Amino acid sequence: MVSSLINALPKAELHIHVEGTLEPVLMMSLARNNNVSIPYNSIDEIKNAYRFKNLEDFLRLYYSGLRVLKDEDDFYILTMNYLKRASENNVRHVELSFDPQAHTRRGVRFEEVIEGIHSALKDGERKYGISWVIILSILRDLSVEDALHTLSRAEEYKDIIDAIGLDSAEVGNPPSKFKKVFEKAKTSGFHLVAHAGEEGPPSYIKEAIDLGVERIDHGVRAIEDETLMKMLGRMRIAFTLCPLSNLKLNVVKSLKNYPIREFSKVGIRVTINSDDPAYFGGYINKNYEEVAKALNLKPKEIIEIARNSIIASFASDERKREILREINDVEKNYFESA
């Protein structure tokens, strides 16, 4: 019954890296088409490499795999492949992150990346009915100067890029390092989000809040700081949690202690997302299912998480109302038939 509820629920995915949807089959295909050498001879070899000790271990393989993405068509195919999966998971709105610096430093033009992604999102909206927001994520292990240059490119595409985020290797790269970037992005009218409190300490979450972010990506280590938890609860801030990612990267040892209820209890808006699903073993419904099973989440709790994903999104108010009505209908039908 829980799986059928999860499948039926309309939902938003707020924490998804398009590069993290590069499935092994597509990686092999693009490597052949683009004459790119990768250190794998089969799809099974790629899958067997997906055993990570931590975030840094994952990022080394992640960036290596991106070499197969060379032009606008590749980013279009990558994005459309994700949107098909998202549709199958009843995602009704997606806020898609991309890492332009991971591509421009390989010689791929910024225009090729954003235009391929944007074209796919427009076609995906027509085909699957999925509304969308684009988040440009800054790589925090690169320089502030590089980040400011990348932000200037985002400003050229302000009509389609809605938000600025912060991701990649967290430890040693606190949000405060990018104070100038976030100040400029806020002045330019972008929404702000940031990865914080995944492997970095709870203090990184506070730093991100001080920079004006509207959502925290991950944030699981907030549980270690009671004062911070109370502050986040008063703010009613949203966390874009990614259970299978946290499990695969050893951020948490088990989902049986995943702090969803603790966060919800203080007032944090919990959402569930898939992060980099090609690498972490599941798209959004799988993340819902695994954490629901581990914590024995009740139907009301699952519905509330889906509802949070819409409320915490950057979708228009009209779009939010539309999807929230769909959730209400699913909730009503579920309990009437139970």
pLDDT classification of 56: cutoffs 50, 70, 90: confident
| Residue whose tokens read 């421009």 | 104
Question: What pLDDT score does 47 carry?
Answer: 85
CA 36, CA 101: separation in Å to the nearest integer?
A: 19
pLDDT at 1 over 80: no
Domain, as residue range, for 158: 2-337
Extract the tokens encoding 53: 């000790």
Ranges 1-5, 221-225, 260-264: which has the least confidence: 1-5
CATH code where residue 221 lies: 3.20.20.140
pLDDT in tens, 113-154: 999 999 999 999 999 999 999 999 999 999 999 999 999 999
Decide if 76 contacts 117 (C-beta within 8 A). yes
Q: Is the pLDDT of residue 304 over 80?
A: yes
Q: C-alpha distances in angstroms, 207 versus 113, 215, 275?
A: 30, 13, 22
**CA atoms of 327 and 310, how far apart (whole Å):** 10
Give the tens place of pLDDT for each residue, 203-244.
999 999 999 999 999 999 999 999 999 999 999 999 999 999
Report the distance separating Cα 328 and Cα 311, nearest Å.
13
Q: Is the pTM higher than 0.95?
A: yes
How far is residue 303's CA from residue 307's CA, in Å, rounded to a whole number? 6
Q: What is the DSSP letter of 275?
A: B
91-98: strand order across its sheet: 11-17, 91-98, 131-139, 161-167, 191-196, 215-218, 238-241, 269-272
Place of tokens 């610096």: 101
- Find the catalytic residue in 95, 198, 290, 331: 198
- Structural domain count, the chain: 1
> Comparing C-alpha atoms, which of 173, 130, 134 is closest to residue 319?
130
What's the pLDDT at 63? 82
Question: 293 to each of 6, 15, 159, 179, 290, how far by Cα in Å?
Answer: 12, 21, 41, 40, 5
* DSSP collapsed to 3 states, 83-109: HHHHHHCCEEEEEEEECHHHHHCCCCC
**pLDDT > 90 fraction of the chain, expressed in percent and rounded:** 90
- Is 336 a known active-site residue? no
